[in-house]
Structure formats: C-alpha cells, structure tokens
Amino acid sequence: MEAFITMSRSLSVFFVILGILSHGTEAVLTPSKHNCSNTTFTPNSTYHINLDSVLSSLRSKSNATRENGFYNSSAGNTSGAKVYGSFLCRGDLSPQECQECVDTVTEIITQICPGKKEAIIWYDQCMIRYSNKSFFSIMEYEPFLHEANGENNKEPNGFMDVLNKTMNNMVSKVVRRYRKSSVAKYATTDAKFQGNPIYRFAQCTPDISADDCRKCLYKAILSLGNHCWGKIGCRILMPNCFVRYEKYPFYTSSPKDKWRQIVAIVTSTVISALVSLSIYLFFKMSKKVKKDAINEKTACSELSTMDYSSNFSLSIIEAATNNFSDGNKLGEGGFGAVYRGKLEGGKEIAVKRLSRTSGQGHQEFMNEVTLIAKLQHRNLVRLLGYCLEQNEKLLVYEYMPNKSLDVFLFDTSTSVQLNYKRRLTIINGVARGLLYLHEDSRFKIIHRDLKASNILLDYEMNPKISDFGMAMIFFGNESKELTDRIVGTYGYLAPEYATEGLFSVKSDVYSFGVLLLEIISGKRNDRFYFSEKGESLPTFAWKMWSKGQGMELIDSLLAKSNVAAPEVLKYIHIGLLCVQDDPAQRPTMSSVVVMLGSEIATFPQPTKPVFVAGSASSSHPKFCSDNAVTLSNISPR
Ligand SMILES: *[C@@H]1O[C@H](CO)[C@@H](O)[C@H](O)[C@H]1NC(C)=O
Ligand SMILES: *[C@@H]1O[C@H](CO)[C@@H](O)[C@H](O)[C@H]1NC(C)=O
Ligand SMILES: *[C@@H]1O[C@H](CO)[C@@H](O)[C@H](O)[C@H]1NC(C)=O
Ligand SMILES: *[C@@H]1O[C@H](CO)[C@@H](O)[C@H](O)[C@H]1NC(C)=O
Ligand SMILES: *[C@@H]1O[C@H](CO)[C@@H](O)[C@H](O)[C@H]1NC(C)=O
Ligand SMILES: *[C@@H]1O[C@H](CO)[C@@H](O)[C@H](O)[C@H]1NC(C)=O
Ligand SMILES: *[C@@H]1O[C@H](CO)[C@@H](O)[C@H](O)[C@H]1NC(C)=O
Ligand SMILES: *[C@@H]1O[C@H](CO)[C@@H](O)[C@H](O)[C@H]1NC(C)=O
C-alpha cells in the first residue's frame, strides 16, 4: 500500500514534469515566410467561393488528419474555377497544436495574400498552400523560401561541416518513414559544435514518393551552403519539404530524450520517487518493447515474399521451364544455369538453378534467400520464391526480358540500343539501388560483386541489381570486415579488398565507379586491362580526364550530337572519385546520388587511381592470372 502511494505520488510528479516539458517548445504560432502569386481573382467570384470552401474544409480536417499531419482538398470543377489546397503540420506536433495552427492560418491567409489566386504560407508549426493548379502528389521546388537567424557563427567553416555531417543520415530516416503511410515524414537529429548543441529537423509532405522526398531534401541541404552559410539558425522551405536547424530545441524532443530529462529532474528532487518511477518506467518500457517486437514481426511477414515460396514446388518449376530444357536456358554462370519459365497463369519467371557441384552451400543459399526476400526497391531484382527439394537448389526471380547490362554494353551490335539517356538512367538507377542496400534498408548490406553482368534490365531498360549470393549484412555500427576469402570479380575489386581482404561499403563504391566508367566508355575493364596498354580503365580514364581529353573516353557508338559534354565530364569525374585508392577518399553512395543530381561540379579533385590488378597479384598469387573470371569460381561459393 505504501509503495502504491509513493508510486502514485511519483506518477503525479512525472505527469507535471511531462506537461512542463511538452510545453517547453515553441507554443506561440510564429509566422515565417510566405509567397503570393501576383495573379488575382475577383471578389465574390466562383473562385472566391471555392477558395473559401477549400479553406474551411482544411479547417475541418485539421482535427481528423492526426496521423501524418497532412491533408489536401479541392473545390469546384475544372471548367475554370477549381481551387486546390493542402496543409502540412510539423511532424512532432500534437493534433491539437496542428489544429490550432491550421485554423489560425486558414483564417488569415486571405488577409496576408488578399485576392491572390495562389499562396503558400509557412509558420513554424504548419504550412498552408492553395492554388488554381493541381499540385497534389507533384513534387515542386518552387516557391523556394528561406529564412536565416541573423546571427553569424564565429567559425562558419567548422560549423557548417558539423551541420552537414549527419544530414544524409537524417534524410534516410525521413525516407524510411514512407514505408508506413500513417506517420508524418520527418526526422530530427542533434549535434554539437564546440560544446553547443545544434538541433536539426527535416520533413517532407507524404503525398510525394520517397524518392522525390529524398531529392527535395538533398536540394534543401545543398542550398544551406548558399542561404545559411555560418548562420546559427536557418530554414529552407519548399512546397514539398523543409529543413531547419537552430541552436535551441524548437521541436518536441523525441520520447527517448524526454525520458532522459525527466529522470534527471526527478533525481535532483525526489529520490524516493525516482525509485518507484524507475519501476514504473521499466514496467512501461518493457511493455512497449514487447509491443514493438510484435509489430516488427507482422511488418516482416507482410513485406516478406516468402509466402510465395509454397507456390514454387519443384514440379511447378519443372513444368514452367519445360523440364529445364535447353531452349529455355537464358545463360550459364559459375554457379549454374538460369532458365526462363512461364507459370500457368502466364506470368514469366527466371529460375536460377544452382549446380549441384557449384559448392554454394546451404548457408550461402539461405543467405541469398533471406536477404533478398527482405529487400524491396525498384532497382533491385525481386526474388519471388525458392525451392529446396531433391538436391535441387532453385531461386525464382521476376523475369527480366532484356537480360543483363553486359550483353548490351559490350556487344557492338546491341550497344547502340543503349543510347546516352538510357546509360545515364542505368547509372542513376544502380546508384539508387546501391544506396538502398547501404543505407536505407533495415540492414547495411554490402553487395561485394557489383558488375555489369549482375545488372539486369527490365522492359524499359531500367536497371536492377541482382545476385546477392555474396552479399554481407551488417547490423548496428560495425561497418568494416576482414576476410581471407576474397570473392568478387577482377577489374571491379577495390585495392584494399583485393590486397588485404578488407571490405566495406566503400569497396562497393569502387565497383560502382568501375561500372560507371564502363557504361560511359562501352569498354570492359577486364579486357582493357589485358590489352597492350598495360592500364586499367580507371587509370586510363584518369589520364584522359586530367589531360582535359575526357570526352575521348566516351563510347564511339554514342551519337555525339545528343551528348552533353559537361554532363559526361561530371559523370567521369564522379566515376574517378569512386575509384580512388584510399577508401576514405571515395564518396558514400548518398554523396554519389547527390552529385549525380547536382548541376555544377564543385566536387573534390580525384587523384590518379592505382593499378589494381597488379597489386592484387603480388599478395594473392593464386588469383593472379585468370582472365575475367568471377573469383568465387576459384574460391567456391
Ligand atoms: C508579376 O510580378 C512580376 C515581377 O514582380 C512582373 O514582372 C509581372 O508582370 C507580374 N505579373 C502580373 C500578371 O502582374
Ligand atoms: C461580396 O459579397 C459580400 C457579402 O456577400 C458583399 O458585402 C460585398 O459587397 C460583395 N462584394 C462585391 C464586390 O460584390
Ligand atoms: C476535435 O477533436 C476533439 C477530440 O477528439 C473534439 O473534442 C473536438 O470537438 C474536435 N473539433 C472539431 C472542430 O471537430
Ligand atoms: C488529395 O490528393 C490525392 C492525389 O494526390 C487525390 O486522390 C485526393 O482525392 C485528394 N483529396 C481530396 C480531398 O481532394
Ligand atoms: C461547374 O461549376 C459551375 C459553378 O459552380 C456550375 O455552374 C457548373 O454546372 C459546373 N459544371 C459541371 C460540369 O459540373
Ligand atoms: C491559373 O491562373 C492563372 C492566372 O489567371 C492562369 O494563367 C492559369 O492558366 C491558371 N491555371 C489553371 C490550371 O487554371
Ligand atoms: C514567389 O514565387 C515565385 C515563383 O517561385 C517567384 O517567382 C517570386 O519571385 C516569389 N515572390 C516573392 C515575393 O518571393
Ligand atoms: C554539405 O555537403 C555537400 C556535399 O557533401 C556540399 O556540397 C555542401 O556545400 C555542404 N554544405 C554546407 C553548408 O557545407
């Protein structure tokens, strides 16, 4: 009983403190920036009436849309006077705070932008937008608004560096939230500069795609350099996303931080209360953890394509592939053959039949199966199912009608089909797929065998990364690994991996760089190496590029008229950065994606890459002379 009283006392302390903390953030509605069009409507016109009705519908929904803080609405018909409107509340706000902001701003927007056909208004807490154009689900960069805190930091360079450091991380966090529709698409992070905290916040509207959100946020982050240089606080506001940082906590801290603060306060005041409070917290948290674990499991089985596997019995696959007939064979590799198949309903599949002698053990097989089944990205090939029956190890994939990239790229009769635009699409798609593997999926995954023949092409020649038999998963923060079993393919192996067996995400970045140069030049790195030039594609590319003759690298089959020289040089530049000798000098895939999407090249200068194959042979003599083979053939998978 006594414990109960202490407990309820400490609980009331706890709620009082919770109340104080949750009002510790900005409670006052604070206007930020707005932009009104200079086109106007006439008072009492249909447009005016429709606008009023849109604004009142936003007001009425500000209560209902508590999950993701976003709502869109329209009124009227397309014969002239249709009005579209939406609101976005800052993701950390309570429904009441959101409602307060939306209600207030929809009331005054017609005073701030009187008679204007279009307007966008940003408050610290919410954004209201209306227009005569439909903007739902369309990503737009304009109107671009920014607002800086007038004060400058004394050491802008160091400050901006710190600010920038984990921005990519924050973007990935926001993007990940697109997996669940009912949550606000935002993330926060704090950092420290010279002992002072920096609080950062990023959010997107949920009506755009995760990819567009990423693009939008990267643009915002890149703009910090122009509009916020050295400022102690600043924000970049675009219709579909915004980024803000301050030296004070302007957002409601995450529950975890809140617990920490509560515990600190309670410790200094009522020690006895702390004891029971901890019991309470422990009780509450263990309950929460349990709940999360259950959610995780459900999410997993929803995501998992393993449910299909039961449909792929050996007899079904045999029927689909006409008993693995030669006529259905698509190709053959060190691991076994790939067959094309057609299921009863007409759906086409590709079946990888691991040869019984391939040496790919049960473990590698299950590695690939469990790994790829969890991955879903449009630049990764989908595994539909698998089959382990009667000594057969079969993997069933979505069918890729255009086979693999090497088939097109390195054959003069087909490479013309890979026009300039398609090649850039392929490079960008592979970069995004790899970024997903490295940073956006639930694990950190290193592919370890990225090469042209592992890039499959769909009907529209969109690239999909395949073959995860050698991929490695990392949990938590470990990110480098030492291995004495080097797998991968000559010409694509990063020097530190080939010589020391050290691999990390940066070894994939190296392979990506080689692949990029191959796509631009239409030349195979491995063949190239064995040519009399005594050079690898990276060293040759560097030589040409640094002499200002980068354009000579480009595939002679590409119609020169359609090729934009500055763009090609930018791609080569990025490729060369990826094949730098020192892994630390190579960009991460998120930087690569940013660079591919940026206009001007203010990238670091690459230095001359090393001649990888030569150094590989010195410390691993048994690998040295085999021409263009996947090393996994030597060291059996
Ligand atoms: C809108 O404003 C711009 C610049 O402020 C001006 O050049 C343009 O003529 C204006 N358009 C209308 C329709 O008033
Ligand atoms: C618009 O309507 C309001 C009330 O309905 C009226 O008071 C006002 O005079 C009207 N304005 C015009 C320009 O007709
Ligand atoms: C908003 O929701 C609260 C609680 O659910 C309710 O009391 C209130 O009346 C609602 N307001 C509006 C405008 O619907
Ligand atoms: C909101 O926008 C979506 C398209 O993104 C549209 O389908 C939906 O009807 C809109 N909602 C309203 C209430 O207009
Ligand atoms: C469009 O809206 C106008 C004004 O509200 C109305 O008179 C007209 O009948 C509507 N047209 C259609 C096709 O609904
Ligand atoms: C929106 O209004 C502007 C200015 O009156 C006009 O030029 C434009 O065509 C309108 N857009 C739509 C989709 O009606
Ligand atoms: C509002 O946005 C438009 C389009 O982005 C831009 O041209 C205009 O200059 C902006 N106006 C103000 C006052 O910022
Ligand atoms: C942040 O980093 C990017 C490249 O990673 C760079 O282009 C940008 O200028 C940096 N921004 C700031 C504000 O330092």
Phi, psi of 228 (to 5 degrees): -130, 15
Measured distance CA(268)–CA(256) in Å, rounded: 19
93 and 173 in a common domain: no
Ligand 7 atom closest to the CA of 142, numbered from 1 = 5
pLDDT category of residue 635 using cuts at 50, 70 and 90: very low
218 and 84 in a common domain: no
Q: What is the pLDDT of residue 22?
A: 37
Q: What is the mean pLDDT of residues 69-91?
A: 89
Q: Is 39 in the pocket of ligand 1 (CB under 6 A)?
A: yes
Task: Decide if 57 is inside a domain.
Answer: yes
485 and 418 in a common domain: yes
Q: Is 338 in the pocket of ligand 8 (CB under 6 A)?
A: no
Two structure tokens written together for 602: 């203010």
Measured distance CA(513)–CA(492) in Å, rounded: 9
Find the DSSP H helices in 36-80.
46-61
The rounded Å distance from CA 80 to ligand 5 centre is: 9
Q: What is the mean pLDDT of residues 294-321?
A: 53
Q: Is 73 in the pocket of ligand 4 (CB under 6 A)?
A: yes
Task: Decide if 605 is inside a domain.
Answer: no
Which residues, at least 6 apart from 525, have a Cβ–Cβ distance to it below 8 Å? 491, 492, 514, 517, 518, 536, 537, 538
pLDDT of 24 strictly over 50: no
* CATH code for the domain in which residue 499 is found: 1.10.510.10
In a mutational test of the pocket of ligand 1, which residue from 35, 37, 38 has the highest number of ligand atoms less than 8 Å from its CB?
38
On whether the CB atoms of residues 74 and 54 are closer than 8 A, the answer is: yes
Question: Which range (1-15, 228-242, 476-490) has the least confidence?
Answer: 1-15
Q: What is the mean pLDDT of residues 157-185?
A: 88
Q: Is 43 in the pocket of ligand 2 (CB under 6 A)?
A: yes
Active site residues: 449
Measured distance CA(356)–CA(336) in Å, rounded: 8
Counted domains in the chain: 3
196 and 113 in a common domain: no
pLDDT category of residue 364 using cuts at 50, 70 and 90: low
Q: What is the mean pLDDT of residues 169-187?
A: 90
Measured distance CA(29)–CA(199) in Å, rounded: 19
Q: Is 44 in the pocket of ligand 2 (CB under 6 A)?
A: yes
* CATH code for the domain in which residue 94 is found: 3.30.430.20
Q: Which residues line ligand 5 (CB under 6 A)?
A: 46, 77, 79
Measured distance CA(469)–CA(365) in Å, rounded: 7
Q: What is the pTM of this model?
A: 0.48
487 and 411 in a common domain: yes
Closest CA to 539 of 554, 527, 528: 528
Q: What is the mean pLDDT of residues 70-96?
A: 88
pLDDT of 262 strictly over 70: no
pLDDT category of residue 362 using cuts at 50, 70 and 90: low
Task: Tell which of 236, 251, 266 closes a domain.
Answer: 251
Amino acid at 348: E
Which structural domain range is residue 206 located in?
A: 144-251
Phi, psi of 99 (to 5 degrees): -60, -40
Task: Decide if 20 is inside a domain.
Answer: no
Question: What residue's CA is closest to ligand 6, atom 4?
Answer: 39
Which ligand minimizes its atom distance to the CA of 163? 8
Measured distance CA(404)–CA(211) in Å, rounded: 24
Task: Decide if 499 is inside a domain.
Answer: yes
- Tell me: is residue 256 an annotated ligand-binding position: no
**Cα–Cα separations (whole angstroms), residue 346 to 324, 349, 399, 401, 550:** 17, 9, 12, 14, 47
Task: Decide if 389 is inside a domain.
Answer: no
**Cα–Cα separations (whole angstroms), residue 336 to 389, 465, 580:** 16, 19, 34
Q: What is the pLDDT of residue 556?
A: 83
DSSP per-residue codes, 289-303: HHHHHHHHHHHHHHH
429 and 543 in a common domain: yes
581 and 509 in a common domain: yes
Task: Tell which of 77, 110, 131 closes a domain.
Answer: 131
176 and 86 in a common domain: no
Which DSSP symbol is given to 603?
Answer: P
Q: What is the mean pLDDT of residues 107-122?
A: 87
562 and 429 in a common domain: yes
Question: Which range (163-177, 272-286, 323-337, 482-496) has the least confidence?
Answer: 272-286
Q: Is 88 in the pocket of ligand 8 (CB under 6 A)?
A: no
**ω into residue 143 within 30 of 0, thus cis?**
yes
On whether the CB atoms of residues 51 and 76 are closer than 8 A, the answer is: no
Task: Decide if 1 is inside a domain.
Answer: no
pLDDT of 243 strictly over 90: yes
The rounded Å distance from CA 182 to ligand 3 centre is: 19
Task: Tell which of 232, 251, 270 closes a domain.
Answer: 251
The rounded Å distance from CA 131 to ligand 6 centre is: 9
- The predicted-structure confidence for 123-167, as pLDDT tens digits, reads as follows 888 999 999 999 999 999 989 999 887 677 888 888 888 888 878
Phi, psi of 531 (to 5 degrees): -75, 170
Two structure tokens written together for 201: 């916040």
Task: Decide if 494 is inside a domain.
Answer: yes
pLDDT of 180 strictly over 50: yes
Count CB-CB contacts under 10 A for residue 231: 23
Ligand 4 atom closest to the CA of 72, numbered from 1 = 1
511 and 412 in a common domain: yes
Q: Helix axis angle, 420-435 relative to 565-578, nearest 10°?
A: 30
Phi, psi of 35 (to 5 degrees): -145, 120
Measured distance CA(416)–CA(412) in Å, rounded: 7
pLDDT of 575 strictly over 50: yes
161 and 39 in a common domain: no
209 and 126 in a common domain: no
Task: Decide if 62 is inside a domain.
Answer: yes
Count CB-CB contacts under 10 A for residue 410: 16
Which residues, at least 6 apart from 485, have a Cβ–Cβ distance to it below 8 Å? 501, 635
